[in-house]
Chain A
Amino acid sequence: MNGSRSRPPASLYVAGPFSMGYVDFYTFLIPLYGLSLGLNASEIGILVGGRSILALFLSIHIGVLMDRFGTRRVTLFFVWTGMALAPLFPVVPGFWTLLLLQLISGAAVSFAWSGAQTLIAQLAEGDAGYIGKFSFFARLGSTTAPLLAGAVWDYGGAWPAYLLGALWGMVLTITLLRTPEAQIFGPGRGDGRGRARFRARDALPRASDYISSIMLIAIPAIALSMVVMAMRNTTYSIQTSVYVVYLDRIGLVGTMIGALFAIVEIASGLGSLFAGQAMRWGDPQRTMLSGTVLSILLIAATPLLGGIFALLLLSQALRGWLEGVIQPVILSVQARASAVINRARSWACVRLGSGSPRLWSRR
Chain B
Amino acid sequence: MGLRQTGQRLTSIMVPPLIGGIADRWGATESFVIFGAFMLLLCVPLALITRRAARSASTQEDEPTLAE
Contacts and interface: CB of A to CB of B under 8 A. Distances in A.
B61 to A, nearest CB: 13
Contact of B3 (A213, A224, A227, A241): A213
Interface in B19-68: 19-24, 28-29, 31-33, 35-37, 39-40, 42-43, 46-47, 49-50, 53-54, 66
Nearest to A220: B53
B25 to A, nearest CB: 9
B60 to A, nearest CB: 12
A293 interface: yes
B16 A44 contact: yes
A337 B18 CA distance: 32
Interface residues on A, range: 35 or more
Contacts of A47: 16
A309 interface: no
A342 interface: no
Interface stretch (A3-11, A132-140, A147-155, A232-240): A232-240
B18 to A, nearest CB: 7
Nearest to A48: B16
Contacts of A231: 39, 42-43
A228 B46 contact: yes
Given A227-B46, A229-B8, A300-B32, A283 B54 contact: yes
B51 to A, nearest CB: 8
A299 B40 CA distance: 12
Interface in A281-296: 283, 285-286, 289, 292-293, 296
Contacts of A226: 3-4, 7
Given A230-B8, A296-B39, A216 B3 contact: yes
A302 B32 contact: yes
8 contacts: A48-B16, A221-B53, A224-B53, A229-B4, A236-B12, A297-B36, A297-B40, A299-B32
Interface of A: 40-53, 55-56, 59-60, 209, 213-214, 216-217, 220-222, 224, 226-231, 233-234, 236-238, 240-242, 245-246, 249, 283, 285-286, 289, 292-293, 296-297, 299-303, 334, 347
Which 4 A-B residue pairings sit nearest by Cβ, starting from the closest? A300-B36, A45-B20, A45-B16, A41-B23
